[in-house]
Structures are given as structure tokens and as C-alpha cells.
A and B are shown apart, each in its own frame.
Chain A
């Protein structure tokens, strides 16, 4: 995958554009970043990012990682996801990286970590099963 392909991947998803998601390819690793946008706030008094934004961001990250396996096929579909919220999402840039934990012929298990200051202090984690696109 090239940076141009990573860019076109997030650019092709209107929902990713609505959240403001960008993709960066570093040493072969795909890291998504979510610049701070006021429209992604869930609690204005704290303030904190919306839990749904963090969840949706991690879902896009998992689907983007799976898309790298077969760039010409449709997107994978989430079957079931578990999201753990570990820290408040501060109004700053957020990052996410997905790992394919297990890939079968039809279903993949993916783990995603989202962080702000450091990957060692994640703000949220997602694990989920995704239905892979059919190859023909």
C-alpha cells in the first residue's frame, strides 16, 4: 500500500470525511489520525470527544486495515464489536492502529487501539469480528 492509496481509501468514505479522519503510512504501518474538531465533541462541559466518534473512528480503522488485504474488493462489514473506554477523549488529535488478530476465509478478528499522547496510554480499545468480502 502506498500513501496515495491510504489517502484515497479514507477519501472514498463519506463518514470518514465527516469525522475528519486522515491516514498515514509509516514504515508499512497504517495509522489513522483524527484531528480535533469541535463537531466531534460529545460532552461540551468537560470537554470530551463523543464516545460514538471514538468507536466509529476505531471501526473505520479496522475496516481500513482489512481493506489493505484486498484493495479492489468491497469493504468488510462489522458483525460484532466490543468497545472499552479507558480514558476521557480530550479535545486534541487522536490516533488509531488496527491489528488483524485472526483471519479466516470469511471472518476476521481485529483489535484496535486509540490514543492521544502515547500509544502506551490508550483512551479506548476495540475488538471485533468483521465479515470479509467474498472473493468472487
Chain B
């Protein structure tokens, strides 16, 4: 288990930086643990959804929550695998404050052989005053491996056939 968490910390920042869209909007890796993932999204005028209030778009918060839930799902399985979002439910409790960094904390509270169940909260410093809460299901799209490097192999093989 300790080894798994150590590997998660090794690959965590790269998982986020290696995701083109996460990179594009400026999502940052914060922390990872068994079944847990935390990310942040600094305020960015390119993400404004309402020009009158300068509040970032709901979609930017959706993306941050999806990414954090994905990280928690990867960290929730007993091995390293490729995943895809099946469903995402988001409730928006209030607007994000213009200028503030949004933090998303996700917890994978259950995994089965193929599915991970996650809940997450997005806030700007106080988790008890959430911007949005999320509930997500992710599905494993391939086998699990003991080491993260091996996870890419079956995907390449599938592409050839």
C-alpha cells in the first residue's frame, strides 16, 4: 500500500500536466492518497462564463471536479489502470468568487471490479462553504497493473488491432 501511494505521488503531477485540457485551463496537482485526489484551479479570465460578474463558467468547475474525481478513481483501484467517466452529477451551491483559486477534493469511497464511485467538493479555501459538490462513476477501460508504466501497454496494443 505504501508503495502504491508513493507511486501515486510520483505519477500524480504528470497525470495532470499530461492531460492537455487540464494544462490548458491551468489545473494544478495538489495531493493524492489511497482513494483521494486534490487539485486546484487558479482564477483565469479565459474561464469567465458570465462577463457581467466575471465569475468562471460552471463548465470550468465541472472540468476541475471531473479531473479530481478521475485522480481519486485511479487512486481508489488496487492497481494502475486506464479509466473513463461514466456519469457526473454536479450541484452548484454558489458562484465561485472572481479572483479566487478553486480547490477540488475527491474521495473514492467504493470500487468494484470495473467501477469506482466518487464524491467531491469544490471550494475556495473553506470546505464547509462549498461552491459545488459532485458525485461520479468511473469505469476501468483496461486491466490493472502493479506499476503505472505498464498501464499504457494494452491501450497501444488495442490501437494496432
B49 partner, pick from A45, A75, A83, beta carbons under 8 A: A75
Query: 1/0 per residue B45-89: CB within 8 Å of A?
Result: 111111111001111101111110010000000000010111111
Nearest B residue to A82 via CB reads B89
CB-CB under 8 A for A52 and B20, given A14-B46, A14-B47, A17-B46: no
- Cα of A14 to Cα of B51 in the assembled complex, Å: 8
B48 touches A45 (CB 8 A): no
- Cα of A18 to Cα of B152 in the assembled complex, Å: 29
- Cα of A38 to Cα of B24 in the assembled complex, Å: 10
Min CB gap A12→B, angstroms:
6
Number of interface residues of A (CB under 8 A): 41
Min CB gap A122→B, angstroms:
14
Chain B contact-residue range equals 35 or more
Contacts of A50 in B (CB 8 A): 19-22, 63, 66-67
CB-CB under 8 A for A15 and B46, given A50-B66, A60-B59: yes
Give the total number of A-B pairs whose CB atoms are below 8 A apart: 139
CB-CB under 8 A for A14 and B21, given A52-B63, A59-B57: no
Q: Which of B6-64 contact A (CB under 8 A)?
A: 18-25, 45-53, 56-60, 62-64
Contacts of A77 in B (CB 8 A): 58, 92, 95
- Cα of A39 to Cα of B21 in the assembled complex, Å: 5
Known: A43-B84, A52-B67, A78-B58. 19 other contacts (CB 8 A): A14-B47, A15-B46, A15-B59, A16-B57, A18-B25, A41-B20, A41-B21, A43-B82, A45-B82, A46-B82, A51-B70, A52-B66, A53-B59, A56-B58, A56-B62, A74-B50, A75-B50, A78-B92, A80-B91
